[in-house]
Structure 1
Amino acid sequence: MKEKKKSSYSDFLIASGIWITTTLICLVVARLNFQESNLVLFYVLGSIITALNTDGYFYAVLFSLISMIAVNFYFIYPQYTFSVMDLDHVVSFSIMFLISIIVSVLASRSKMNERMAIKREKDAKQLYEISSKLSAAVSVEEILNISVTYFREMLGLQTALLLCSPDGMTQDTYLFCGLDGNTEVRNVLVNRNIVKCDKDSGKGYLIGNLYYEWPLVGSESIFGYAGFIPEEIEKRNPEDLNLISQMVNQVSLALDRNYFMKKEEEIRQENNEEKYKSNLLRSVSHDIRTPLAGIMGTSELLKEQVAHLPEAHKQASIIYKESSWLYGLVQNILSLTRLQNGKLKILKEIEVVEDVIHASIESINIRYPDQEIIFNEPTEVITAPMDSKLIQQTIINLIDNAHKHSPEGQPIEVIIEDNFDDTVSVMVKDHGTGIDQKAFSMLFSTFYTTHSRDAESNRGFGLGLPISEAIMKAHGGSISAANNENESGANFTITLPKHESDDKK
C-alpha cells in the first residue's frame, strides 16, 4: 500500500511538472504570434510524454482535460476567461481532447506491455536459474532449501515446505522460511493425508488451516505441498499466482527427479548384489561339482567292494546317497544362476519322451532305492523336441518333490498323455497330504518350501519347482499343480509341444 501511494505521488509530480513546462513553452511561443492550433500540438505532445512516464491512464487523461481548459483560458480570445466566442474553437478543443486521450491510452498500453515483457523476461531468467540450481541438487534437503530461498527472493513470500510419506500422510515436521531469510524446522500440528485432500480447480491450491497450499505432484505420487501465508497470497495478481504455480512445478520436477535417481541407484545396487551372489554361487557350485562326482564314483565302487560287510556297505550307501543329493542341489544352483543371467542354453533335439522318463527314474532309484515308482508307459512311441538333460532334470525335480511329500510305502506314479492339441503331458503323482490352498500361489517362487514327511525331506531349498517352471517356459511349454481328485495327494504336470513352432525353426 505504501509503495502504491509513493508511486501515485511521484506520478502526480511528474504530470504537474510536464504540464507547467508545456504551459510555459506555450506562453513563450504565443508571444511569437504562433496560431492556437500549434499551441494545441504542444499540449498533445505533453500528454504523450505524461502517458509514457506515469502508470495507467488517469494522469494522461487529466493532463488532456486541463490542457484544453488552459488553451481556452490563456490563449483564446477573450483571454483569461472561460467563455468561447467561436464555435470552431469548441470543435478544435473536443478533437484535441479526443486525440490526446487516444494517444495517451495507446502510449500507456505500450508502456504497460513493455513492463510486462520485461517482467516476463525477468521471471523466465529466474525460473531458468532456479531450474538449473534444482537440477544440480543431490538431496531432498538441498532442494527444499533452494526452493524456500527463491520463493522469498523472487516473490517476497514466507514459505512452508512439507513432505509426506509414500502413503500420503504428512511428516511430523516441515521447513519454514521467513522474510528475513532464516529457516527453521517446525512441528506439524495435525497429520493428514494429502492425497485425499480436495483440490480447488478454480484457484489451483488448497485452503489449509495455516497456509494456502500448492501440492507438489510427482509422476507417481504427491511429495507434499508448498504453503504460503493467506494474507500474502490474497493481495497477489494473477501473474504472480501463475509464477508461484510454475515455481511449484519446478520444485515438483526436482523432487520427482531425485526420487527416480534414488530408485535407479537402489535397483543398480540390487542388481550388483544379485550379480555378485550369482557369480559366487556359480563359482562355488562349479568347484564343488567335480569332487562330488569323484565322491559318488568312489562310494559306489566302495559299496561293491564291501558288499560282504553289512555295516561298511551301509555307510558307503549313506555316503553315496548324501553326495548324490548334494550333487543334485549343485546342479539346481548352477541352473538357477544361468537362468538369472540369461545364459541357460536350450539345445533341442527330437527325443523319445519315454526314454527321457526312464533315465530320470533310474537316477531317482539310485538316490531313493526304496521308493516305488510306477511308470504308466504309453502304447505308442511319443516324440517331442526338447533339451533332454533339462527335461530330465525337471522330471527328477518333480519326482524328488513327490518323494518328500509321500508317506513311506506309498508309490509315486508317472503318467504320459498324448494330447489332441499337438502337445504331450507328463504327470508326476503322489499320495501324500496334498497341497494347501494357500500355498498354490507360492509353489513356483524361489526358495519357497513346505513341510515334508520327515526331517531328511525338509532339507530342500525351494529351487526345484521354480527351475522346472523356467525350463518349461524356455521350451514353450508349461507346468501346473493340482490336488488329486477323489484321493489324497497332489500331482504336477508338465506340457511340451510335439512340434517346433514356425518362428523358431
Structure 2
Amino acid sequence: MGEILRHIEGKMKQKRERKKKFWHVFLFITILIGMTLVGLLFRTVGFPETNIVLLYLLGVLLISRFTGGYAYGITSSVFATGAFNYFFTEPYYTLSVYDSSYLITFAIMMATAFITSTLTSKIKMNAEIAREREAEANALYRLTSRLTDVTEISEITSTVVEMVSNLFNCQAACLVYTDLQEPENTFIQQQMKGKQIRREVQDPHALKHQIAGLRTEFNVGEEFHDWPLYGRDTILGVLRIPNSDVSFMNDSQMRLLHSMIESTALAMDRVKSVSERQRLKEEATQERYRGNLLRAISHDFRTPLSSIMGTSEMIMGVTDPGADTHMLANTIYNDAERLHSLVENILALTRLHEGKLVPEKQLEAVEEVVGAAIKAMANRLADRSVKVNIPNEILLVPMDAKLIEQVLINLLDNAVKHTQPDEEICISVVENKVEKRAEFHIADRGKGISSADLPYIFQMFFTSQSDKKEKRRGIGLGLSICESIVVAHGGTIKAGNRIDGPGAELIFTLPLQIDCLDEGETTNND
C-alpha cells in the first residue's frame, strides 16, 4: 500500500512540474506578445522608438522575474530584439535593416536585455536560496529545540523520525545501535501523521557489515537509503529514508537532511555521555560506600583478633604442648592469624581503590625486609623448612618496607597453603646488575599452577578450581594486592612453575634506582 501511495505521489509531482513549465512558457509568450501590441500602439500614437525599446526591456525584466531560471530571460532578450527589428524598424515586417545605425541599437538593446535578465534571474535565485536557507534554519531550530531537553535515546529517534517525515513528506525510520555496537533487532518508522510503528530488521549483522564498510555518505539497501549517525567514537544509529522518496529530493533538501543527521547524532552522543557519566558516578559512589564499609569492618576486626591471638598464644605458653588445650589454642591462633592476614589484605584493597596506595620509597636492606616477613610468618612456618638465599654483600633497594613486607607475607602464605609440612619453601634474592633490578623468587614444592589458571592468577577475587576443594581457601585478594604494590614500585611480577621439579615459583622485581621524577634525585646501588 505504501509503495502505491508513493508511486501516485511521484506521478503528481511530475504533473505539477509539467504544469509549472507550461505556465512559464505561457508567461513568456504572453508578455512578448503584450509588449509588441503595446509597442504598435505607441507607434500609432507617435511615441519615439526609445520608448518601445524600454518597453521590451520591461518585458524581459518581467519574464526573468516571473519565470524560472536564466534560460527564459536570455531567450526573451533574443526574441525581444528580433521583435523590435521585425515590427518597429524600416522596412517593417522583415528582418532586413536599411539603416546600419540600427545594428548598434540592436546590439545595445541585446546587451542591455541580456544583462537585465541575468541580474534579475540572479537576484531571484539569491532570494530563493535565502528562503531555502531560512527554511533550513527554522527546521534545524525546531529540531534542536525539541532535542535539547530529551533524556532518552528512544525520544530522540521518535522526534527525528516524525520531523524528517513531515519535512520531506516521506516515511522515515531510525535504527539504534546498542552499547555493544550491534544494531537493534527492531527500528521505528513513521507510518502516517501521529502514528509510528516498530519493524523488525531482516538481517542486523548484514546491515552492520554494510554500514561499517561504508565508503560513501549513505548505504543503498533494498528498501532504504541508510545514513549512519556517527558519535565521537562509535556509530550511534542509522537514519533510513525510503528509496522512492530519496529520488525526488533536491540538493537543498539533501543539505537539510545532512544537517538534521548531524544534530541527531550530537543529541544521541550527549544523552549517551550523560548516561555514561551518571553510571560512572553511581559506580564510584557504590565503590566508596563499599570501601568505607570494608574499612570499618576490618578496623573493628583488628582489635578482637589481636586479643584472640594474644590470649591463645598465652594459653599455649602455659600448657603442655601435648595437651588438648594446647592443640585447641594453637588452632584458634592459626585461624585468628589467617583472619588477621585477610583483614590486612582488605584494608590494602580499600587503599588501592581509593588511590592511597602510594609507596614511600627509602633505601632498605633486603635481608631485613625478608627477615621481618619470615618473623611475621613464624607461627605458620614453625614446622616448615624455609631456605633463604640472599647476596653476601648488603643489597639496598629503594622500597616501602612495610608494603614489600606485605608482598612477601602474601607470597609466603600462598606457598604454605599449597605445600605439605615436609616440603621445602625457598626465598631467593638476586641482584640483576644488567637491568639494575632486584629479583625476589618465592618457590615451593607443591602441585604447581595449572595452565588454565596461569593467565588469571593475579586477577582480583580469582581462586583456582583446585582451591575450591581446600577447606581453607582464600578469597583471591593476596596475589592481586601483591601485583598492585609491586607495580606501584615500578616493578614487575609473574608466576610460573619450577623447571627443576614440581612446584610453583613467583618472581617479582624492584628497580635498584629511585625515579628522579618521584624522589627528586637518582640513587644507584652498584
Map 1:364-443 to 2 at 5 A. Answer: 364-421=377-434, 422-443=436-457
CA-to-aligned-CA distance 1:262-317 (integer Å, 9 cap, x gap): 23322222222222211111111111112211111122112223337811111111
Aligned residues: 504
> Is residue 482 of structure 2 the alignment partner of residue 482 of structure 1?
no
Match of residue 467, structure 1, among 443, 463, 481:
481
Letter of the 1:442 counterpart: Y
Q: CA deviation at 1:7?
A: 3.1
Map 1:101-140 to 2 at 5 A. Answer: 101-140=114-153
Identity among equivalent positions (%) equals: 33
Q: CA deviation at 1:394?
A: 1.1
Q: Give the alignment's TM-score, normalised by structure 1.
A: 0.89
Q: CA deviation at 1:487?
A: 1.0
Letter of the 2:299 counterpart: H
| 1:449 match | 463
Q: CA deviation at 1:465?
A: 1.0
Map 1:31-110 to 2 at 5 A. Answer: 33-61=46-74, 63-68=76-81, 70-72=83-85, 75-77=88-90, 85-89=98-102, 92-93=105-106, 95-110=108-123
> Is residue 249 of structure 2 the alignment partner of residue 236 of structure 1?
yes
| 2:4 match | none
> Is residue 317 of structure 2 the alignment partner of residue 317 of structure 1?
no
Q: CA deviation at 1:218?
A: 3.1
Task: Output the CA distance in 2 between the equivalents of 1:340 and 1:147.
Answer: 43
Task: Output the CA distance in 2 between the equivalents of 1:479 and 1:226.
Answer: 50
Q: Does the Cα contact within 8 Å between 1:48 and 1:103 map onto a contact in 2?
A: yes
Q: CA deviation at 1:444?
A: 1.3
Q: Does the Cα contact within 8 Å between 1:73 and 1:81 map onto a contact in 2?
A: yes
Q: Does the Cα contact within 8 Å between 1:138 and 1:258 map onto a contact in 2?
A: yes
Change (3 A) 1:378 1:138: same
Q: CA deviation at 1:447?
A: 1.0
> Is residue 278 of structure 2 the alignment partner of residue 255 of structure 1?
no
Match of residue 307, structure 2, among 281, 294, 298:
294
Map 1:221-370 to 2 at 5 A. Answer: 221-307=234-320, 310-370=323-383
CA-to-aligned-CA distance 1:203-224 (integer Å, 9 cap, x gap): x322211122222333333334
Letter of the 1:133 counterpart: R
Range moving further from structure 2, 15-24 or 50-59:
15-24
Q: Does the Cα contact within 8 Å between 2:53 and 2:84 map onto a contact in 1?
A: yes
Match of residue 170, structure 2, among 157, 176, 187:
157
Task: Output the CA distance in 1 between the equivalents of 2:180 and 2:230.
Answer: 14
CA-to-aligned-CA distance 1:55-79 (integer Å, 9 cap, x gap): 1234434544554455456544566
Letter of the 1:283 counterpart: A
Letter of the 2:511 counterpart: P
Task: Output the CA distance in 2 between the equivalents of 1:367 and 1:137.
Answer: 62
Q: CA deviation at 1:331?
A: 0.5
Change (3 A) 1:419 1:75: closer
Q: Secondary structure at the match of 1:153?
A: helix
Letter of the 1:270 counterpart: E
Task: Output the CA distance in 2 between the equivalents of 1:455 and 1:74.
Answer: 115
In structure 2, the gaps of 5 or more residues are 1-13, 522-526
Change (3 A) 1:197 1:447: same
Range moving further from structure 2, 218-227 or 410-419:
218-227
Change (3 A) 1:497 1:162: closer
Q: CA deviation at 1:169?
A: 5.2
Task: Output the CA distance in 1 between the equivalents of 2:54 and 2:511.
Answer: 100
CA-to-aligned-CA distance 1:14-53 (integer Å, 9 cap, x gap): 5566446645654554455332133112211221132122
CA-to-aligned-CA distance 1:377-412 (integer Å, 9 cap, x gap): 443332323322222111111111111111341021
Q: Secondary structure at the match of 1:468?
A: helix
Range moving further from structure 2, 42-51 or 348-357:
348-357
Q: CA deviation at 1:260?
A: 2.9
Range moving further from structure 2, 282-291 or 78-87:
78-87
Q: Secondary structure at the match of 1:460?
A: coil
Range moving further from structure 2, 265-274 or 388-397:
265-274
Change (3 A) 1:489 1:114: same
Range moving further from structure 2, 231-240 or 460-469:
231-240
Range moving further from structure 2, 258-267 or 286-295:
258-267
Change (3 A) 1:82 1:417: closer
Letter of the 1:461 counterpart: I
Letter of the 1:194 counterpart: L
Match of residue 231, structure 2, among 213, 218, 240:
218
Range moving further from structure 2, 137-146 or 73-82:
73-82
Q: CA deviation at 1:105?
A: 2.7
Q: CA deviation at 1:333?
A: 0.5
What's the Cα RMSD here? 2.9
Letter of the 1:327 counterpart: H
Q: CA deviation at 1:235?
A: 2.4
| 1:175 match | 188
